[in-house]
Amino acid sequence: MSLTSEDADPSEQRAVARPAAANAQPGRVTFNRLELHRILNLYGRMVADGEWRDYAIDFLKDRAVFSVYRRASEVPIYRIEKDPRLARKQGMYSVISATGLILRRGHELERVLLVIDRKLAVV
């Protein structure tokens, strides 16, 4: 039994016709779902500790930036950047302090975030 165009579900036809990356704006670098999940988990823990209060996400042509603020009126205390141009060199992920100092750069987001992700230490 074959389906004709009249019997097919219209939503399935639209899903096939639409490219997978249609939602992403061309020429913009973005964080994917797993990267945002990891960053927002860290952000949530730091908000619960009372250290961070606000954040901003910027998707630029050459990089994506997640900025963290202690207060909304200040400069960001940390910037987590994704720059694909550095993927084959030093690594596309970096954590930058408020003074502009690159605290850590690498190929894996998990390892780069360890510089600001303080774990509970047993003494």
In a domain, 64, yes or no: yes
Rounded to whole angstroms, the Cα distance separating 83 from 63 reads 5
Chain-centroid distance of CA 79 in Å reads 11
pLDDT tens across 64-87, in order? 999 999 876 678 889 999 988 888
Domain total of the chain: 1
In a domain, 10, yes or no: no
Rounded to whole angstroms, the Cα distance separating 27 from 68 reads 24
In a domain, 21, yes or no: no
Core vs surface per residue 36-60: b (16+ CB within 10 A) or e:
eebbeebbeebeeeeebeebeeeee
pLDDT tens across 103-113, in order? 999 998 888 88
> Quick check: helix, strand or coil at residue 56?
strand
In a domain, 22, yes or no: no
8-state DSSP, 24: S
Q: Residue 123's pLDDT band (boundaries 50, 70, 90)?
A: low
In a domain, 89, yes or no: yes
pLDDT tens across 37-70, in order? 999 999 998 888 888 888 889 888 888 999 999 8
In a domain, 42, yes or no: yes
In a domain, 15, yes or no: no
In a domain, 16, yes or no: no
Q: What pTM was computed for the model?
A: 0.70
Domain limits for position 87: 33-113
